[in-house]
Structure 1
Amino acid sequence: MSEKQRLHPAAIFFTLIKTFKELIFSIGIGFFALKDAGLIYFVIGTCVLIIGAIVFSTLSWYRYTYRIEEEELRIEYGIFVRKKRYISKNRIQSIDLTQSVAHRIFKLVQVKIETAGSGIGTEASLKAVKLQIGESLREELKTLQKTNIETDESIDETVQDKPSQKITAKRLFFAGTTSGSIGIIFVIMSVLFSELGQFIPEGYYENTFHTIISFSIIIIVVLVLASLLLLWFLGIAGTMIKYGNFTITKNEDELFIARGLLEKKQTTIPIRRIQAVGIDESLLRQPFGYVTVYAEIAGGSMEKGEDFSTILFPIMKRTEVDDFLEKFLPEYISERNNLNGLPAQAKTFYIIRSTIVLILAIIAMLFFIPQFIWAPTILLILCMFMGLLRYKDAGFRINEEQLTLRYRVLNRKTVILFHKRIQSFERKQYLLQQKASIATMKTSIVSKYGAGKHYKIKDLAVGDVMELADWYSYRD
């Protein structure tokens, strides 16, 4: 790795595709603007753009080199202006390997290198290298020095001793079934359909509407249910594609996560970067006793499509969480089922806060459209129930240097964090809370992209908030 190396030639293809994605909108505008009188100019211009993109992609690949020298990853790039980037091994936080479908065709991998200050993009990204080279880079950059060379047998023995856990197909299917992604898919399809409507003849909607009206109620119901079933299956497929073959492995002071059926991702998480561990229980999964375990990671890059929280395991039984933490993060085991709850007077605040908007809507509808008063009334009952759930679930527990918080917006979330990870603590109390002897606490940590992650519990007893404030203020 000490000699200059180039990316795999397939990087030319990836750069070309990226360039065309950026130009496709401009090409579309040019086509509609010149399709009548200036079509020949459009064709010539498009050909020039294609040739220019090919030349640019080829030169970018040829001028891009990398090597490892003097405990640094050294990258040189730039067609006309030569740029050099040196990344010390000491600064590297994580090295991730990603394989898209195109990468898998060529048996390649993309290497993403992140440092503590990566900001809105990765510190370095090698678009296309051979899988063996990518793995060698990761291993060489992870350690400052290699003291000895292990035999194949000793490596195999070490791998076998590493704690590891893989998701089963049955659990993955259940995760997709209860993912709640049907709503997201419905919104996306609605937007696409509305945009598609611009290209559909005007009489098509009217004819379709009359055709549907001519059907019986039973057929309409069947069509609606079939559409919902299709969206449900799409949600299941999306979850299984994203988290297929999900495996987490602990290697000394790192967690290694591999996942994905179409696009394979391998993520390395240094344990020292974990700021908090959370347990998420959705409304659909909680009755069945299933949860998702995730972590808040400091640093990282704001790449498009990245999750704000890192999933440590997509789905498991609530009763299996302690065993999972014992295997991978034993210091985060907490007495989360024995929390200090909210005082009785807080219940009224939670119910009012959850229903005030609907109460105002009901009052307005009584004057204007009283015949539809039943709709917000049903929602009001559901919101009252949600307010009671939020009151019931909220709580905290202090255990020496460890703090456990639980709260609910829609999903119930339990967060375990440590005193040294907390960046700030805030106490708020408005007039009505003062009269009820309650207050709101908010604590913050550093999370992904260097941004702050905030945890808030409303309407705690004043004494409990003071206890939390004293605990935070104490320093050894």
Structure 2
Amino acid sequence: MTGAKRYSPINILYDLWKLIKNTFFLALLFIIKQGTNSAFIKYGRIAFLLFWVISIVYIILKWFTHKYKLDDTSFHIYSGIFNKSNRTVPFSKVQNINRRTSVFHRIFRVTSIRFETGMRGDDAAVEFEVISRGEADRLEQHLKASVRDAREVSEVRDEVRDEIRAEAELGETAYEEMSGNAPPARRIHFRPTRRDTLKASFTSFSFFLLIPLTLSIYSKINDIFHVENEAKGALNSIANSWWVITGIAILLLIACIAFGVIRTFMKYGKYEISSDDDSIYITKGVIDETAFKIAKNRVQAIEITQSIMKRIFGLAEVKLISAGNTDSERDKLEMNSLYPFLPAPRAYEMISELLPTYEVTQEMTALPKVSFWVRLFRPSWTWIIATAALAYFKPVIWGISQAWWLISVILLLLIVVCRILAYFNTRYSINQQFVQFRLGSLTTTLFISKRDKIIEVKVKRSFYQKWLGLATVETVNRAKSVHHTEMKDVPNGLAVTFYQWYLGRREDIIVE
């Protein structure tokens, strides 16, 4: 592609839609209060109209001045109305590709695409909020072809081992790219059934979201129409009738369950996990569609998380810790997570299918008994500070003047129970290429990483740990923000083995 191009004209409509959506309730307030003589409303309306005019002018000028261009190696993004800027993002920095198709995009038959990098800051990603689907496909294919061509050149220049196989692979890859053949067929690993959707709706407690949502809408309506004052008499009548309250409670329960199921279906109903030889693909959403792609070689570690409810229902969530920026603040898609409500046995199977180079072992070693007593009697600053505050304020709860020490005892019991559960849940395993930690009390997390993906390890020992022959080990992996995993109170022998194991990483790294 040559020559800078403007973004799709539909970007103007998209920005106008966002402007309307963000100022809707404020505009409604000024419309309803148009007959008032309040100076605040009068000047506020003028300021609001002025803001709208400036925003519309800015949106139009933005479309005329913001452009983009692609060459063989990089994105070039031109922005700024008065202060011009030119941002260059190499294709080699792109870690993940994320697509989203909202209701707006569906209406105009467009989509959005986001090329996420491992860099930090506001300019860490190249994003096209509105783009035709054909143009999005072309951008993705252009990036893929450029990266692959660069890799081929590097292989031709540097590879001296297994030359015949390298030339065969290069010839096959070049032929596929030049002939425009379709990419390798994807293998579908998971699609949720209706039963999976029902389990997800109850496990996620999404039905409870109806209550704060209803209260929020009511609060906004009440601020405008003063519904509470008008309905005060009716509310008093309802409060004095137990059968009306019972009926309302039943209807509210049914509405909450229906809302939870519908919300879960809209979010996860068309969920699909698939993969090919190079990448993992995740798509979801019935109305607001999202598609995410992550290169397998970018996966730094895996986490399998289970809350209490998920353990009851036999579910688990698998998260891929990636070197790229997978957490967009704009939409909070959390697309580094595979389906958050996978059946636990299927979750373990899927890891081997998606990432054949990773291994999950069920045989893990527990902590020694001395670790149990260390964890149990380690001072809890949470309990100490909370107890000091309770003793100072001595709150009276339900007419009980000495309730503060009861709360302190209950908090201490909860902390002790959590520490006991954490001890029995904690496990570890180290083999030639992998390290595996299981941590947590009420919610457990199984961490798995390869030795060549760990960028740093730490071994620490406090005074009492030295005396008892214990230590704390920690791993560091690349991620959007560096990912730390720490296991406390492991045997000192394991700490030494762990450190020596990591030194063997030099055998896995090929220095050019």
Residue 169 of structure 1 corresponds to 193
**Aligned-pair distance for 1:352?**
5.0
Residue 345 of structure 2 corresponds to 319
- For 1:19-98, list aligned pairs within 5 A: 19=19, 36=37, 38=39, 42-98=44-100
The size of the alignment, in residue pairs, is 469
**Aligned-pair distance for 1:116?**
2.3
Q: Secondary structure of 1:248's match?
A: strand
Residue 155 of structure 1 corresponds to 182
- 1:332 maps to which of 318, 341, 358: 358
- Letter matched to residue 72 of structure 1: S
- 2:458 maps to which of 386, 408, 426: 426
Measure the CA separation in 2 of the matches of 1:71 and 1:375. 62
2:420 corresponds to 1:393? no
**Aligned-pair distance for 1:423?**
3.0
Kept after mapping to 2: 8 A contact 1:118/1:299:
no
Kept after mapping to 2: 8 A contact 1:181/1:235:
yes
Measure the CA separation in 1 of the matches of 2:486 and 2:104. 43
Kept after mapping to 1: 8 A contact 2:68/2:75:
yes
Q: Secondary structure of 2:114's match?
A: strand
**Aligned-pair distance for 1:65?**
2.8
Gaps of 5+ in 2: 150-172, 507-512
Q: Percentage identity across aligned positions? A: 21
Kept after mapping to 1: 8 A contact 2:298/2:323:
yes
Residue 320 of structure 2 corresponds to 295
- Letter matched to residue 319 of structure 1: P
Q: Secondary structure of 1:334's match?
A: coil
- For 1:16-415, list aligned pairs within 5 A: 16-19=16-19, 36=37, 38=39, 42-144=44-146, 145=149, 147-148=174-175, 155=182, 158-159=184-185, 162-170=186-194, 171-181=196-206, 200=226, 211=237, 214-216=240-242, 223=248, 227=252, 230-300=255-325, 302-306=328-332, 310-335=336-361, 337-351=362-376, 357=383, 360=387, 369-370=401-402, 383-415=415-447
Kept after mapping to 2: 8 A contact 1:248/1:258:
yes
2:491 corresponds to 1:461? yes
Q: Secondary structure of 2:357's match?
A: helix
Kept after mapping to 1: 8 A contact 2:67/2:78:
yes
- Letter matched to residue 470 of structure 1: Q
Q: Secondary structure of 2:366's match?
A: coil
Measure the CA separation in 2 of the matches of 1:346 and 1:228. 45
Kept after mapping to 1: 8 A contact 2:96/2:324:
no
Kept after mapping to 1: 8 A contact 2:112/2:131:
yes
Measure the CA separation in 1 of the matches of 2:188 and 2:379. 42
- Letter matched to residue 299 of structure 1: G
Q: Secondary structure of 1:396's match?
A: strand
User: What is the root-mean-square deviation in Å for CA atoms of aligned residues?
Assistant: 4.0
- Letter matched to residue 284 of structure 2: R
Measure the CA separation in 2 of the matches of 1:188 and 1:379. 31
Q: Secondary structure of 1:345's match?
A: helix
Query: What TM-score, normalized by structure 1, do the two folds share?
Result: 0.82
Kept after mapping to 1: 8 A contact 2:310/2:341:
no
**Aligned-pair distance for 1:78?**
3.1
Q: Secondary structure of 1:56's match?
A: helix
Residue 439 of structure 1 corresponds to 471
Change (3 A) 1:201 1:15: closer
Kept after mapping to 1: 8 A contact 2:306/2:444:
yes
Q: Does 316-325 or 401-410 show the bigger shift?
A: 316-325
Kept after mapping to 1: 8 A contact 2:383/2:411:
no
Change (3 A) 1:319 1:302: closer
Change (3 A) 1:131 1:406: same
Residue 15 of structure 1 corresponds to 15
- Letter matched to residue 63 of structure 2: W
Q: Secondary structure of 1:310's match?
A: coil
Gaps of 5+ in 1: none
Q: Does 198-207 or 236-245 show the bigger shift?
A: 198-207
Q: Secondary structure of 1:138's match?
A: helix
**Aligned-pair distance for 1:19?**
4.3
Change (3 A) 1:15 1:148: farther
**Aligned-pair distance for 1:308?**
6.0
Q: Does 178-187 or 30-39 show the bigger shift?
A: 30-39
- Letter matched to residue 457 of structure 2: F
Residue 5 of structure 1 corresponds to 5
Measure the CA separation in 2 of the matches of 1:383 and 1:225. 36
**Aligned-pair distance for 1:382?**
5.4
Q: Does 38-47 or 95-104 show the bigger shift?
A: 38-47
Change (3 A) 1:309 1:461: farther
Query: What TM-score, normalized by structure 2, do the two folds share?
Result: 0.77
- Letter matched to residue 189 of structure 2: Q
